Chain A
Amino acid sequence: MFGFSRPQLIAFLAMLALIIVCPFVVYPVFLMRVLCMALFACAFNLMIGYVGLLSFGHAAFFGMGGYVTAWTMKVWHLDASIAILLGGVTGGVLGLCLGYLAIRRSGIYFAMITLALAQMVYFFCLEAPFTGGEDGIQQVPRGHLFGFIDLSNDMTMYALVACVFLGGFLLIHRIIHSPFGQVLKGIRENEPRTTSLGYRTDDYKLIAFMLSTSLTGIAGGTKALVFGIATLTDVNSSTSGEIVLTTLLGGLGTVFGPVMGSVVMVSMENYLAQFGAWVTVTQGVIFMFCVLAFRRGIIGEIGNFLKLKL
């Protein structure tokens, strides 16, 4: 099913069960945050894990998706589904523009160009009138889904977020296990060789980048809707760094790694929030520990231990 191997299917069903059971045990808003970040990390992982390109500017797509969803909800009073989709379209279009410029380089240069372009987006958001600058867009109504489902209830909203996450997760899985994904893996493994087989690798990388940024925009839009606010934090480079850390912690190039990474990172932010700046210090220490001791990330190490591809 969906190209899942047997152990992956078991892991997926376990994740599905947790998604269904957890809101009855844990605070749903916290879980929604986890799921939004998880979708963001999965989309980011599509680039780093399967194309081998480290984007350091993914916050631009996350934040802009959030702004567009928030603005269209608040000002145009659109349906939630359309507002979230518009967030995705924003991510995709912005991804096309920035990706077109960045995709010509690889490695550290790609990371630097994406970072620079994302900073430009950040300053645009700081100055542009519709984003509300430092204040952000506040008091965004959650509105209705398909015109009749009221999303102001946390459990209803949670159901929507869970569906968006699962949809995105399965789409990414399909992308990875498609004829297109096969070429992407070829590019990751050996780009000159892929070129010599007659593939125009830039086209493949750009499309992958757009798919990744579209899903990132959807994740950003969903998050803005959950919290009713879109702020500069989500476009900031620190968010780009955080998503790199999240993916690395969970396991680069694994299907479930980014999800696990998000659970850990968001939990840390949530439960260590009382210690203020120590959150950042703790994250830094964990990052160093991760790089030094378990380079494959949590899921990567588990997979390696069990000799399974998770």
Chain B
Amino acid sequence: MTDTILETAGLTREFSGFVAVDGVSLRVETGTIHALIGPNGAGKTTCFNLLTNFLTPTRGTIKFKGEDITGMKPAMVARRGLVRSFQISAVFPHLTALENVRLALQRARGASFDFWRPETALNVYNDRALELLHDVGLPDLGNAVVADLPYGQKRALEIATTLALDPEMMLLDEPTAGMAHGDVDTIVQLIKRIRKGRTILMVEHNLSVVEGLCDTITVLTRGRILAEGDYATVSKNPEVIAAYLGSSDA
């Protein structure tokens, strides 16, 4: 019954001789949480940039819901329901939390080229925006300027903004990076709540997060897939231990 939502074949990206991503063939099944792990410089973020077409692959193809999206404009990929977050917290710092989420909800009206209409035209999205803020644990913060929020709340806000597009598939680039322990747990709970009806592909460094959360794990090193499977399988793989987990024993 499982079917594939995202599939890459021989995905390769070279940067003037350096191969960052080398023939990655990835299959993400619908409705799963899939993790992409690997040591620094393994090509995880490059992979994300390729999947969302922020970078063009040197070789290889990307299929989303059976449709070839290789070389499509990033905005068009987003409109098809494949929405990403960023490693550095991607918020709009000088807007309020409500405006951040509303900017995503505003997509529902199509292109917003209407420069002659007052901003109040967007107030119809306020309720939904507040609801989303509530869902990610940021109630009552609608009018807060985002630059003033602590880091954990910015990450939560970013997820709220991504959720506002109601994407079929979310790509989360290190959602817990740089977070305090308590905040990590909040985000993990949040991801568990939002996974319903969605597929999530995430890059993650924190293995305890991956362990409890992800159905499938793909390990990347030097741009290649080293191993794939559930946490139990992957964590026992001697090559993975050597390449990645082993570094902590040394």
Contact = CB atoms under 8 A, between A and B. Distances in A.
A201 B118 contact: no
Contacts of B12: none
A184 to B, nearest CB: 9
Interface stretch (A14-22, A73-81, A191-199, A218-226): A191-199
Given A197-B78, A198-B75, A198-B79, A182 B93 contact: no
A3 B119 contact: yes
Interface stretch (B16-24, B102-110, B230-238): B102-110
Interface residues of A, number: 29
B108 to A, nearest CB: 10
A177 to B, nearest CB: 5
Interface in B83-137: 83-86, 90-95, 99, 102-104, 106-107, 109, 111-122
B112 A193 contact: no
B95 A203 contact: no
Interface in A175-200: 175, 177-183, 185-186, 189-190, 192-200
B52 interface: yes
A196 B84 CA distance: 6
A196 B169 CA distance: 13
B74 interface: yes
B151 interface: no
Given A196-B74, A199-B107, A182 B112 contact: yes
B79 A179 contact: no
Contacts of B114: 178-180
Contact of A197 (B93, B94, B104): B104
Contacts of A204: 113
Contact of A196 (B83, B93, B119): B83
B73 A197 contact: no
A260 to B, nearest CB: 21
Interface in B32-77: 52, 54, 73-76
> In the complex, which of the residues B91, B102, B119, B165 has the most CB atoms of chain A within 10 Å of its own CB atom?
B119
Given A189-B92, A197-B161, A178 B117 contact: yes
Interface residues of B, number: 39
Contacts of A2: 118
A186 B92 contact: yes
Given A179-B121, A190-B92, A203 B54 contact: no
A138 B209 CA distance: 74
A181 B95 contact: no
B93 A189 contact: yes
B75 A200 contact: yes
A177 B117 CA distance: 8
A38 interface: no
Contact of A182 (B85, B86, B103): B103
Given A186-B92, A189-B93, A197 B118 contact: no
Contacts of A182: 99, 102-103, 106, 112, 119, 122
A193 B116 CA distance: 25
A55 B204 CA distance: 40
A179 B165 contact: no
B115 A174 contact: yes
A185 B104 CA distance: 13
A167 B126 CA distance: 30
A224 B107 CA distance: 42
A178 B119 CA distance: 4
A142 B73 CA distance: 50
B103 A197 contact: yes
A178 B75 contact: no
B75 A177 contact: no
A211 interface: yes
18 contacts: A2-B118, A174-B115, A177-B118, A178-B115, A178-B116, A179-B112, A179-B122, A185-B94, A185-B99, A186-B95, A190-B92, A190-B93, A193-B90, A196-B85, A197-B83, A201-B75, A204-B113, A207-B115
Interface of B: 52, 54, 73-76, 78-79, 83-86, 90-95, 99, 102-104, 106-107, 109, 111-122, 161, 165
Interface of A: 2-3, 174-175, 177-183, 185-186, 189-190, 192-201, 203-204, 207, 211
The 6 closest A-B pairs by CB, nearest first: A198-B78, A189-B92, A180-B115, A179-B112, A193-B90, A175-B115
Given A180-B117, A196-B85, A198-B107, 17 more contacts: A2-B118, A174-B118, A177-B118, A178-B119, A179-B112, A180-B115, A182-B99, A182-B112, A185-B92, A186-B103, A190-B92, A195-B54, A195-B78, A196-B52, A196-B84, A197-B104, A207-B113
